[in-house]
Chains A and B, each alone.
Chain A
Amino acid sequence: MVVFVILSVNWGQLRLTPFEVLRTLIGDGTNQQELVLFEFRMPRIVLAVLVGAGLGLSGAILQGISRNDLSDPGILGISSGASLAIVMYITFHPLSGGTSPYILPFLAFIGAGVTAVLIYVLSYRKGTGLSPTRLILTGIAVGMGLSAVSIVYTLRFQPEEFQFVVEWQAGTLWGGNWVFVMALLPWIVILFPLSLYKAHTLNLLQLHETLATNVGVAIERERVGLLAVAVGLAASAVATGGAIGFVGLVSPHVARRLVGNKHQVLLPATAAIGGLLVLFADTLARNIIPGTEIPAGIIVSLLGGPYFLYLLIKQKK
């Protein structure tokens, strides 16, 4: 992780050698170097790490509660809900200088929350409870429906609003400044420890459902609570970092390989790997073709999509 941060700090339109970075950090650099480092690169790096951590955690929790390896806030349609909320906001409050970055995560949270409740209700059946298959199928369908509504409004945007939404949906870390970092940070700071606190419950949920009930977990209540945590993490990350898919899927898998299945260790490891993944993708995104920006989300889906398909092929049921 540290290596990547150093690489990412150095790499960009204006190259800085590690030595120059060090000198700037201790307050000895030129004005230009300070500007690039503190105003452009650092916030973006921090944001990338936070977004990745949020998405990864969200995915780990979703996989935990649905007992399905293939859960991810994007695949389950939760990102589409956040996306729709933001599109609606822009429809009624055209983008101008006055848009507060704090309001976007909040709106995205509401959009994602409503979507999550909708998917939960639609895929719940008395008797069989929450079948993972139905959850995923419903998620795909709800996501498609919400995107269909989004696109109706998107097509009416002014060109610059349209461009903003398209790039945001592709997953660009568009708000690479400290304000956005500050908008996202509280969510992570509150929800990450909360999920750790619930790690034991997540472990229990991995057991068979009847078994978990016997151990004394009020399953449905815990599930709803954990779902809210996952939604909060995904929504705030998506709102500040754009709709980056597959991070929530891939990072828990990689983490599970490395540290095993205990959520007390798994969750922090997932957060770290998610952060690393998005940072890596964003650094690459900024530098593949100089002068243009490929959204980080696309790079992540190029890495994550095939991995997902690999998991799908391997998964027995």
Chain B
Amino acid sequence: MMVHHEKQLQSSRAITGTTVILISLALMVFGFYYSITSGAADISGADVRQAFSHFNAEKETHLIVMDLRLPRALAALLVGAGFAVAGALMQGVTQNPLADPGLLGVNAGAQFMLVIVFAFFPFLPFSSIILFCFVGGGFGALLVYGIAFLSAGGMTPVKLALAGAVVSAVLVGVSQGLAILFELNYEMAFWEAGGVAGAEWTQVRVIIPWILLGLVIAILLSSYITMLNLGEEMAKGLGQRVNLIKIGAAVSVFLLAGAAVSTVGGVSFVGLLVPHIVRYLTGTDYRWIVPCSALVGAAAVLWADIGAKMVNAPYETPLGSIISLVGVPFFIYLARRQRRELY
């Protein structure tokens, strides 16, 4: 009876999981098309098809499609997948419902490194800047987790959130100071606001391998993370090498969040929201959560970016702000709902 029930549950989970994947794929395709055709210059679908099949460098519409719209849409997809899966892994491994790369110091650390690069090595190419962002993001997250880990009461979600907020405040403060000294405020403000508006092919090309590598690691680890999510003791009892899984997950988060942050800047809440929604729909199996998060995250950021273009056209509205407007109420909802487990 139990086994039967279990099987039924599993197959219904598989159905919702597949549905989630199909719907988000549809949203991605439709959003991709919409993102490429809409904007300051209206471009017809025929123009887009032509730009792909018979590219003509003389035609302005073709150039807009290939050089501006396409990398922008691709960057949105990559960044969305990166943040969402990073958030899912963080939440799974630390069993912290409030985990998100932006909230736990990754953005602030990357921003800090970026100011240093802009101030002292302004001529570095993007492919090296991204490495600095990795280091900075990792440094921020390490600080936050280190502090929460050292805390007397252990690494509770609230301690992580507080440590994240304060480490971010200090790192952002130092970044602001450097930005004021070196007159980099405007550049940094755009970065802090977050957006893929200025994404170029070079950036997309540089981050694709990192994001893919991170996703592959995440998918390989997903079944182990499901077990870890049941509790560390349990996972150990089942013969899992818990530390190895944790290190693998950390590497994946590092690659995904680092690459995403360096492209898009200060965007938070994607990694918080998407895994929660996905978990609500598909349950607790990370073999479903990881791929579904990747697709839902990609579709979500793509559509948020379309919103950033449209809300106040012809001005760009910062992507980070648009996502925050959805993310903040959700965060408050989580904070209200959780009671004991947060402490």
Contacts and interface: CB of A to CB of B under 8 A. Distances in A.
Interface of A: 70, 74-75, 122-123, 125, 128, 133-134, 136-138, 140-142, 144-145, 148-149, 151-152, 154-156, 159, 162-163, 166-167, 169-170, 245-246, 289, 292-295, 297-298, 301-302, 305-306, 308-309, 312-317
B165 interface: yes
Given A155-B193, A312-B151, A312-B159, 13 more contacts: A136-B158, A141-B328, A141-B331, A148-B318, A151-B318, A152-B193, A154-B189, A162-B186, A245-B173, A312-B166, A314-B152, A315-B153, A316-B152
A257 B298 CA distance: 51
A162 B185 contact: yes
B332 A141 contact: yes
A313 B150 contact: yes
Given A122-B336, A141-B331, A302-B173, A309 B152 contact: no
Contacts of A140: 161-162, 165
B170 A166 contact: no
13 contacts: A123-B336, A136-B158, A137-B98, A137-B332, A138-B336, A141-B328, A141-B332, A149-B325, A151-B193, A170-B173, A295-B177, A298-B177, A305-B166
B320 A148 contact: yes
Q: How large is the interface on B (under 10, 10 to 19, 20 to 34, 35 or more residues)?
A: 35 or more
A317 B180 contact: no
A306 B170 contact: yes
Contacts of B166: 75, 305, 308-309, 312
B176 interface: yes
A137 B158 contact: yes
A139 to B, nearest CB: 9
Interface string B136-174: 000000000001001111000011011101110110011
B216 to A, nearest CB: 32
B321 A137 contact: no
A142 B336 CA distance: 13
Contacts of A122: 332, 336
A302 B176 CA distance: 12
A287 to B, nearest CB: 14
B24 interface: no
A128 B331 CA distance: 19
Which among A70, A163, A308 has the greatest number of chain B C-beta atoms within 10 A?
A308
Contacts of A145: 324-325, 328-329
User: Chain A's interface: helix, strand, loop or mixed, by majority?
Assistant: helix
A246 B268 CA distance: 23
Contacts of B180: 166-167, 170, 292-295
B193 A302 contact: no
Contacts, number: 140
A316 B156 CA distance: 11
Nearest to B182: A292
B305 interface: no
Nearest to B334: A137
B300 to A, nearest CB: 16
Contacts of A305: 166-167, 169-170, 173
B281 interface: no
Nearest to A298: B177
Interface-central residue, B159, B165, B174, B318, by most chain A CB under 10 Å: B165
B190 A155 contact: yes
Contacts of B342: 133, 137
A133 B158 contact: yes
A246 B169 CA distance: 10
Interface string B188-216: 01101100000000000000000000000
B343 interface: yes
A77 to B, nearest CB: 10
Nearest to B316: A155
Interface string B289-328: 0000000000000000000000000010110110011001
A292 B342 CA distance: 44
A155 B189 contact: yes
B335 interface: yes
Contacts of B173: 170, 245, 297-298, 301-302, 305
Given A151-B192, A294-B181, A309-B167, A70 B174 contact: no
Contacts of A75: 162, 165-166, 169
B318 A166 contact: no
B229 to A, nearest CB: 22
Nearest to A170: B176
A169 B189 CA distance: 12
Pick the most buried of A162, A166, A293, A302: most chain B CB atoms within 10 A of its CB.
A166
